[in-house]
Every structure is written in structure tokens, then in C-alpha cells.
Amino acid sequence: MIRVSFQGERGAYSEAAALSFFNEKIETVPLPTFLEVLKNTQDDKTEFSILPIENSIEGSIGESNDLLYLTTLNVIGEVYHRIKHCLIGFDSLEKIDTIYSHPQALGQCRKFIQEHNFKTVPTYDTAGSVKIIKELNKSNIACIASRQASEIFQVPVILEGIADNPNNTTRFLILSKGKANESKKDKTSIIFSIKHEPGALHHIIEKIAKYGINLTKIESRPKKNTSWEYNFYVDFEGNEKDSNVKEMLNKIKEKTVFLKILGSYPSAEMN
């Protein structure tokens, strides 16, 4: 059976996204941190890892992106998973004053939290927050997580659909030691850093455009070992094995200090 490591407790959105992506019977392996998720696959304890990479409301997930820079695993797939947040707890909405959840979920429900003047307590995971409030067993606390997590830990749903935007979606990447097979509609993800000189980034973007390659994402992340310098994370249409893409990558490499190809994989449809 295929084993997939994910961060969090049973009922986490990462687990649901993994089940959606593989669309078959898999063994999901819950782990406390993103680092341990990837290490499990690197150590052959699981065949795949899943990482949340960006959210339609809160944007990029910094820790996951930083780990992509460090990992030796390849990105072999992506999945967009609709996030349906519920308020979960033991009492009525009126009696609650404190909300537990993962920082991303708290951010995605910011308006709801502010409207009710709730205090917030960040936790390691949405599903884990259900586990925490069950153990605390207080009437004035609740958490934000999925209906599935509510059912797993047997804590009632007080209110559904509390996210700021009903079209709340998270993009997840699937990683493995192997590489994905080519498909008719591939996407490639890379990370690069540039020489500290005028026009360096413009030169790279210009080269990508010259080869007729469509960029689907570009963003920067601070380098961890150098202040005020950045790594650039780029997604574009095409496969690294395509002659056109291969030539473009060779050209932009001339203007980079560092270039890492994370992988080419089938582009997913948004829900």
C-alpha cells in the first residue's frame, strides 16, 4: 500500500488533500512537523510527502517553501483542496471567548474572529486544536478545524463556513524520491537566486518570455543566511525535458547564483 506522510493529526486538511490526490486506498502517516514529513520520505518510511504551499486567502506558507529549498525530494504533483472551516466546541457561540487553531486557519477566519472579539491561541495543526480543546474540556473555548476532525475527536460543530472567503483553497505539493512521468499539461517549479547587479531579475524574466513560456507564479523568500537577499520561487508551464524549456533554463542559469529544479509534474485543475 502507498504510504504518504503529512503534518498534523488525523482529520488535518493535508490528510484530506492526500486522499483526494491519490484517489485510491493509501496509508496516511501523521507527523508533528513539516521537516519530519519530508525526512520520513527521504528515509524510505513513506513513498510520498504532502506539503501545503499556498492559500488563496493567506498566501504562501513560509516554512513549507523554505523546506523546498533544502529537500532532496522532487515535486511530482499538486492538488488544490477546498478548505471548509468549522467552529468546533462544547458550548454555544455566546459563551466562547477563546479560539484555538493553526495560524493559517486563524488568519483565514480573521473577520469572524474580530467580529466576536475572540482571543486566539495558535496551535501546531487544525485537527490538533480539536484534540487540545477536548483535553482542556472548557465551555469558553473552541477551535477552527474541519468537520472530519470534529467527527474523529467527537467534539461538536457549532458553526460551519466561517472563513473570510467561501472560496478558501489551499494548494498542496506532493513530493517523492522519484520523478513524475510526462503528461500533456505539465508545470515546472524552480528556485533561483540572482547576482546582485542591476537588471538581473529583469534579464531572467525577459529570457523566459523570449522562449514563449508562461509564468504561473513568481515570488521571493528571504535567504536565511544573508540579510536582505532573496530566493525566487517560480512556476511555469512546460516540462524540464522539453527542448525549449531546457534551453531556457540553461540561458537563465548564466545569470543566477543558484538554480534548483524542484520538478515537473501534471498541472492540477482548481476546484
**Residue 172 known to be catalytic:** yes
Residue 43 burial (10 A CB sphere; 0-12, 13-18, 19+): exposed
Catalytic residue among 6, 21, 118, 172: 172
Contact 194, 204 (CB under 8 A): yes
Tell me how far apart the alpha carbons of residues 261 and 72 are, in angstroms, rounded to a whole number.
Answer: 10
Grid coordinates belonging to 64: 513549507
Contact 104, 62 (CB under 8 A): no
**Residue 170 known to be catalytic:** yes
Contact 88, 150 (CB under 8 A): yes
Tell me how far apart the alpha carbons of residues 130 and 87 are, in angstroms, rounded to a whole number.
Answer: 10
Grid coordinates belonging to 44: 524510505
The dihedral built from the CA positions of residue 180, 184, 185 and 187, taken in this order, carries a sign that is positive
Tell me how far apart the alpha carbons of residues 178 and 48 are, in angstroms, rounded to a whole number.
Answer: 9
Nearest Cα residue to 73 out of 94, 101, 51, 58: 51
Cα of 92 vs its chain's centroid, Å: 32
Catalytic residue among 71, 123, 126, 170: 170
Nearest Cα residue to 28 out of 48, 44, 43: 48
**Which residues are tagged catalytic?**
170, 172
